[in-house]
Amino acid sequence: MRFDLYENSAKGLRNDPNFTPAPNVRKGYATKPSATDGICLNSNKDVVYDPDQPPSKQPNAPAIGFPREPCFYAGTCSPVSTTGTWEWDIDTYWAVNHPTEPCKSKKSQVWDGAGPKPSRYFVYQKELELDCVSDRSKGDAGGQMKETGSKTCSKQPAGGAERRILYAAVIDCSKVSGGTSTPMAVEAFAKFFITEPVHNPSDPVIWAEFIGIVEPGTDKSVARDNVQLYR
């Protein structure tokens, strides 16, 4: 739902205000020209970008989602990258998804080509700030199969930018003993930006970018200190 995908049994949830999409849902999917119902139905959806391949291997992709780090394509990094820097292909992402003015030139406000590359979360936020979400991607040779970052399926207003934030409990693995059911104290909560929808429900892998730590008591909407009084 965060990516404005309401398929199969979830189709009815597009009318539910509790399941709103994020305000920017660009993901490398396009609606078939004959579709009259957005990408709400499997038959209307074309996945026009393969997230398992780098953009350089699919130069004619009419739209793309956020590319992964190069080491994931090469199989040389762990599932959790801890390099501290970003090497993803922001140039292709922006060129494909923002091919016309005024947003084409606004890339310089996102990254000027010098210094460290910004995170995907930063780019996601800048697309919202610079009013570039509704830009249509370059499309195919026939001018079809274009994608925007705006919702097309949900009948409810889009949620806040945080709809693509996922919180996960952080534990100290050195304290783990016994089976997986052993209660563990939560050291903190990690914040992740979800970069891709789950492409295969039978293999629900979540691709996300680490964006920070929430210490218990510092974010009242996520981690709370519960106080109980005794007498």
pLDDT digit string, tens, across residues 150-209: 988 888 888 888 999 999 888 887 777 665 666 777 888 899 999 998 877 677 888 999
pLDDT of residue 128: 95
What number of helices (H) and strands (E) belong to the chain? 3, 5
Quote the CA–CA distance of 83 and 194 in Å, as a whole number: 18
Average pLDDT on 32-40 reads 59
- Among 64-73, 138-147, 173-182, 199-208, name the most confident range: 64-73
**pLDDT at residue 40 above 70?**
no
> Looking at 60-106, which runs of residues are DSSP E strands?
none
Query: What are the phi and psi torsion angles at 151 (to 5°)?
Result: -70, 150
Give me the mean pLDDT over the 122-135 stretch: 95
Q: How confident is the model at residue 91 (pLDDT cuts 50, 70, 90)?
A: very high
Q: Is 38 exposed, middle or buried (0-12, 13-18, 19+ CB in 10 A)?
A: middle
CA distance 181 to 91: 45
Specify the pTM. 0.83
Write down the domain spans for the chain.
8-129, 161-214
CA distances from 87 to 17, 82, 91 (A): 37, 12, 11
The most confident of the ranges 133-137, 139-143, 148-152, 171-175 is 133-137
Q: What is residue 74's three-state secondary structure? A: helix
Work out the burial of residue 7: count CB atoms within 10 Å of its CB; fewer than 13 is exposed, 13-18 middle, 19 or more buried.
middle
27-36, 112-121, 221-230: which has the minimum mean pLDDT? 221-230
Report whether pLDDT(58) > 70.
Answer: yes
- Computed over every residue of the chain, the mean pLDDT equals 82
Q: Whole-angstrom Cα distance, residue 35 to residue 46?
A: 11
pLDDT of 124 higher than 90: yes
Return d(Cα 52, Cα 67) in angstroms, integer: 9
Provide the pLDDT confidence category of residue 12 given band limits of 50, 70 and 90: confident
**What is the reported pLDDT for 227?**
43
Say which residue the tokens 């293999």 belong to. 203
